[in-house]
């Protein structure tokens, strides 16, 4: 299996992540890896430059974390889930460990890829590892070796609905325990501090006649995730630097291009048809989260 199969099928992500549309090239998968190598070297050089400027500076990298569960205990499903997670770990494996993992090198050899690595590149990767891992977390997915679905937007080949968790209106599976699981997986894999830089709930918000927006569903989502985050620190020993939700204010959803898929504590009067005066108002979650951060998470 190709380690990152979703990117060549999704020009949107190609543009956003690298500026390259892989399908325009003769060998999209090889091009993808070549671009990725250049990004890895650039990242490592940036880390080294930061340390020269200020030896006390800490530099992190970013991972869009979606833990993939095997749909069943069928060995093929378990193996498929492990292989699928490599599609995410390939980035942080290099940026945090400083070398290409064996599964990537074997992939190149097996597929006959000729990745141009300049003299000194591998040394740069070793010397420019990141100090911590920032990651986003919104959901988990279940996958199966045969009979699953998945497309270029979801990016999860073989995905199937998880019958044990609920989902948002966009099919994103709501799994607070998955955040604790992800924290443990990442910390045990890399043994470097973690930082949750995105966590939030996209939903259709209703403005009541009195102007209030009672987004209790968002409060419930965030409360449950913060509770599981606490367990990861208290019981599992995860070194967690901090937590920031997504997002403080409504904005256009990156994945769907919708205003109506709202995440913020602050409502923005703008709609999918372009109407709205951009005025802002506080949702119920605004005051709730204000108390959360004022109490350092003690008052949920």
35 within some domain: yes
pLDDT single digits (tens) 172-231: 999 999 999 999 999 999 999 999 999 999 999 999 999 999 999 999 999 999 999 999
Q: Containing domain of residue 149, as a range? A: 7-198
73 within some domain: yes
Among candidate residues 83, 198, 228, 298, the one labeled active-site is 198
Q: Give residue 65's region: left, alpha or beta (phi > 0; psi -120 to 50).
A: beta
CB contact at 8 A, 264 and 248:
yes
> Could you tell me how many residues make up the chain?
300
In this prediction, residue 91 carries a pLDDT of 95
pLDDT band at 58 (very low <50, low <70, confident <90, very high): very high
Q: Measured between alpha carbons, how far is residue 6 from residues 37, 63, 113 in Å?
A: 18, 15, 18
Number of structural domains in the chain: 1
Q: Measured between alpha carbons, how far is residue 193 from residues 63, 127, 181 in Å?
A: 13, 18, 15
230 within some domain: no
206 within some domain: no
pLDDT single digits (tens) 102-149: 999 999 999 999 999 999 999 999 999 999 999 999 999 999 998 777
67 within some domain: yes
pLDDT single digits (tens) 17-55: 667 777 787 888 899 899 999 999 999 999 999 999 999
CATH code of the domain in which 36 resides: 3.20.20.80
Strands of the 141-143 sheet, one edge to the other: 68-70, 141-143, 159-160
In this prediction, residue 52 carries a pLDDT of 98
15 within some domain: yes
What whole-number distance in Å separates Cα of residue 286 and Cα of residue 290?
A: 6
In this prediction, residue 3 carries a pLDDT of 46
Is residue 30 annotated as a catalytic residue, yes or no? no
279 within some domain: no
292 within some domain: no
């Amino acid at each position: 299996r190709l380690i990152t199969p979703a990117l060549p099928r999704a020009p949107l992500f190609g543009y956003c992540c690298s500026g390259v549309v892989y399908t325009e090239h003769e060998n999209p998968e090889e091009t993808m890896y070549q671009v990725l190598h250049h990004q890895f070297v650039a990242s490592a050089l940036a880390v080294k430059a930061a340390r020269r400027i200020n030896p006390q500076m800490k530099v992190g990298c970013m991972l869009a974390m979606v833990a993939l569960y095997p749909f069943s205990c069928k060995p093929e499903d378990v193996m498929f889930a492990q292989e699928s997670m490599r599609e995410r770990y390939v980035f942080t494996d290099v940026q945090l460990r400083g070398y290409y993992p064996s599964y990537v090198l074997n992939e190149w050899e097996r597929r006959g890829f000729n990745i141009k690595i300049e003299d000194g590149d591998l040394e740069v990767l070793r010397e420019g590892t990141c100090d911590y891992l920032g990651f986003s977390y919104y959901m988990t997915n279940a996958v199966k070796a045969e009979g699953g679905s998945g497309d270029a937007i979801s990016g999860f080949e073989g995905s199937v609905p998880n019958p044990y968790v609920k989902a948002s209106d966009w099919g994103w599976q709501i799994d607070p325990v998955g955040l604790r699981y992800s924290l443990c997986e990442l910390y045990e894999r890399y043994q470097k501090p973690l930082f949750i830089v995105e966590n939030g709930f996209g939903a259709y918000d209703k403005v009541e006649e009195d102007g209030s927006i009672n987004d209790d569903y968002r409060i419930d989502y965030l409360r449950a995730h913060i509770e599981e985050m606490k367990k990861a620190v208290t019981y599992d020993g995860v070194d967690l630097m901090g937590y920031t939700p997504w997002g403080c204010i409504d904005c256009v959803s990156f994945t769907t291009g919708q205003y109506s898929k709202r995440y913020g504590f602050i409502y923005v009067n703008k709609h999918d048809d372009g109407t709205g005066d951009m005025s802002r108002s506080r949702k119920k979650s605004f005051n709730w989260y204000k108390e959360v951060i004022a109490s350092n998470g003690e008052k949920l």
